[in-house]
């Protein structure tokens, strides 16, 4: 299965380049790359080569504004249900409808954190396909907004089998993260499969 993961940087200070392998971690697959933070000065992207599911991919990440100086950690994913199990949960779906994507849950863990702590942005979604052998190119996106302005973004391009998938992007906040409510806009999109969007918030307290 080809997996290409890219965390799109909005403004990033290049920190490090690492190579690694996808690892099993409590059932979740860890796609090792680099944690890349945005700092004052340089504006641009950071690209890190890594081995993702046996294939080479690229990871880049960045935060700015209220989250400048934070870190984007390694991407994890796991298939929670196979295609047959997922179809049973969507009785209205038929193979004649082709490929369909549906977000089931967006979760931030924890929901309230202090500066310097880590929040995990979890995204669970269904990939409904006409048959088991269909591979679907999916773009996962996570945008973080604060007071109406974008302060972070992570997009992941990956090929999925039919089923229900959960993926996690951890973000470690800088020690000077501004307190308040942060809005996360999560989406999944595929050509021919449509797009689904859900939102959630997490709070940074003093």
- Mean pLDDT of the region 124-151: 93
pLDDT grade for 29, boundaries at 50, 70 and 90: low
Phi and psi angles of residue 164, each rounded to the nearest 5 degrees, phi first: -110, 125
Q: What is the pLDDT of residue 115?
A: 97
Domain range enclosing 105: 76-204
Tally the domains of the chain. Answer: 1
Q: What is the pLDDT of residue 9?
A: 37
For residue 99, being part of any structural domain is answered with yes
DSSP collapsed to 3 states, the chain: CCECCCCCCCCCCCCCCCCCCCEEECCEEEECCCCECCCCCCCCCCCEEEEECCEEEEECCCECHHHCCCEECCEEEEEEECHHHHHHHCCCCCHHHCCEEEEEEEEEECCEECCCCEEEEEEEEEEECCCCCCCEEEEEEEEEEECCEEEEEEEEEEEECCEEEEEEEEEECCCCCCCEEEEEEEEEEECCCEEEEEEEEEEECC
Kindly state the tokens that stand for 58: 């690229």
**pLDDT score of 192 more than 60:** yes
- Mean pLDDT of the region 185-199: 93
Q: Which of 5-14, 84-93, 131-140 bottoms out in mean pLDDT, i.e. has the lowest? A: 5-14
For residue 94, being part of any structural domain is answered with yes
For residue 48, being part of any structural domain is answered with no
What is d(CA 49, CA 175) in angstroms, rounded to the nearest whole number?
A: 28
For residue 13, being part of any structural domain is answered with no
For residue 38, being part of any structural domain is answered with no
For residue 62, being part of any structural domain is answered with no
Sign, Cα dihedral of 44, 171, 80, 102: negative
CATH code, domain with 94:
2.70.50.60
Q: What is the pLDDT of residue 30?
A: 60
Q: What is the pLDDT of residue 61?
A: 58
For residue 162, being part of any structural domain is answered with yes
For residue 58, being part of any structural domain is answered with no
């Amino acid at each position: 299965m080809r997996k290409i993961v890219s965390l799109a940087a909005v403004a990033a200070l290049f920190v490090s380049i690492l190579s690694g392998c996808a690892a099993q971690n409590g059932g979740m697959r860890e796609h090792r790359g680099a944690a890349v933070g945005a700092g004052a000065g340089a504006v641009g992207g950071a690209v890190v080569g890594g081995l993702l599911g046996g294939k080479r991919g690229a990871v880049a990440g960045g935060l700015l504004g209220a989250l400048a100086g934070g870190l984007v950690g390694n991407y994890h994913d796991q298939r929670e249900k196979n295609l047959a199990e997922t179809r049973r949960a969507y009785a209205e779906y038929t193979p004649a409808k082709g490929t369909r994507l549906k977000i089931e849950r967006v979760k931030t863990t924890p929901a309230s954190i202090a500066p310097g702590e880590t929040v995990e942005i979890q995204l669970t979604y269904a990939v409904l396909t006409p048959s088991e052998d269909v591979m679907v190119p999916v773009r996962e996106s996570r945008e973080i907004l604060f007071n109406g302005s974008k302060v972070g973004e992570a997009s992941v391009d990956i090929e999925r089998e039919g089923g229900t998938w959960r993926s996690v992007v951890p973000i470690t906040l800088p020690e000077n993260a501004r307190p308040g409510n942060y809005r996360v806009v999560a989406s999944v999109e595929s050509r021919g499969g449509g797009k689904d969007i859900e939102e959630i918030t997490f709070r940074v307290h003093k």
